[in-house]
Amino acid sequence: MIIERFLRYIKIDTKSDESSITCPSTQKQFDLLKVLESDLNEIGMDEVVLDENGYLFATLNSNIEKEVPTIGFLAHVDTAPSFSGENVNPKIIEKYNGEDIVLNEEKNIVLKTSDFPEILNYVGEEIITTDGTTLLGADDKAGVTEIIESLKYIIDNNLKHGTIKVGFTPDEEIGRGADKFNVKAFGADYAYTIDGGELGELEYENFNAASALININGINVHPGSSKNKMRNALRIGMELDSLLPEFDRPEYTENYEGFFHLLNMTGDVEHLKMHYIIRDHFMDKFNNRKDLMLNAVNYLNKKYPEGTVELKLTDSYFNMKEKIMPVYHIVESAKNAMEEVGVEPIIVPVRGGTDGSKLSYMGLPTPNIFTGGHNFHGKFEFIPTNSMRKAVEVIVKIVELSVR
């Protein structure tokens, strides 16, 4: 049933749109949310409510007399705007043989083991891939599927449980998933996002994050008569980038190493726009990175006329570790649940952010648990079905451990 449910959900296009000012950013996210609303009612959940902003909440009321913590499980319905999520046509490989996978013969799109050697960990297992023309949508429809299947199992088998809260949110991929989340109304003591990667991932640390929007104002003069007159915004932009550490870029960093990432650059001699994201796990280093960006801009405004370079520096989210450590037992609970169902925990820092990072600062401590997927946001995305089943077992075991 889990695979059928997952395949049904990924067929529904829910790509979010960062240029939109609405919530949700795309109305088509409601196409899946309404299906999920029906499915939650069908499995026997209580108090199923879908609001006008695209937040779907449900409760499974406690069936025990003693008081235990109220646990929440969260996932997001949108898929990344960076790649198509329309007309998803998955391929199911029933028993992976360890060779390269031809995703699309006509377009010669191949998932190569040399590029993605981690797939060799799943030789002999059933794997779901894309057809090479879209993403798969396991981020985070796998998480949505796993939560619903877990609750269905708990209800169908009349397992003992405290109150369980469920939340399916919009727009996580564009950083707005928690913006209109009502933590008090949700009513959980703590929660888990089911939004991680490979089997066993357990995360309670993420980047501190900021966005740097830069406008560079140049002067364009005919190149034949431009001496001492032209101020080339493109070259000033290149100069700014050269003032940042050369190897503090995503392609050179891993684990706890932070970076500056130039996301896009558009313009001409007269005017240039640049967009950087700044990331670091450690607050002191994060602040140093922001200072370095500010100093680079100030230097250029002294070298060139004041106002040549304009900077808008905005914090995006912070490392949830600060809010998780006082209640670290919730990480231990997830770790113990994994071990009890035969999954080796892989505790790693998130090299990004999750809804859990914002929610933790809003008063709902929320670590992140694996979905089982790999290579999110692109055509080489895949997920082993056994990893999805194990995610279900972990969620059920967390609930079981909470009432012991």
Query: 277: closest CA among 344, 350, 353, 362?
Result: 353
Q: What is the pTM of this model?
A: 0.89
74: which 2 tokens?
Answer: 């969260």
Q: Is the distance from CB of 398 to CB of 71 less than 8 angstroms?
A: yes
pLDDT at residue 21, rounded to an integer: 94
**Phi–psi pair at 62, nearest 5 degrees:** -60, 145
Helix (H), strand (E) at residue 169:
strand 164-169
pLDDT at residue 81, rounded to an integer: 93
Catalytically active residues are 78, 172
184: which 2 tokens?
Answer: 């008090």
Query: 248: closest CA among 230, 266, 262, 264?
Result: 262
Number of residues in the chain: 404
What is the architecture, at CATH level 2, of domain 2-205+320-402? 3-Layer(aba) Sandwich (3.40)
**Phi–psi pair at 358, nearest 5 degrees:** -70, -45
pLDDT at residue 352, rounded to an integer: 82
Burial (0-12, 13-18, 19+ Cβ within 10 Å), 154? buried
- Domain range summary for the chain, segments of one domain joined by +: 2-205+320-402, 208-316
pLDDT at residue 41, rounded to an integer: 98
Instruction: Find all residues with CB under 8 Å of 125, minimum gap 6, and list them.
Output: 95, 96, 384, 385, 386
pLDDT at residue 240, rounded to an integer: 98
In angstroms, the first-to-last Cα distance of the chain is 29
Which portions of the chain are predicted below pLDDT 70?
Answer: none
Domain 2-205+320-402 and domain 208-316, same fold? Reply is no
- The CATH number of the structural domain formed by 208-316 is 3.30.70.360
Tell me the H-state helices in 118-169.
Answer: 138-156
259: which 2 tokens?
Answer: 């970076």
pLDDT at residue 82, rounded to an integer: 87
Instruction: Find all residues with CB under 8 Å of 7, minimum gap 6, and list them.
Output: 90, 128
Pairing mode of beta strands 56-60, 46-50: antiparallel
Name residue 285's amino acid: K
The owner of tokens 């909470």 is: 402
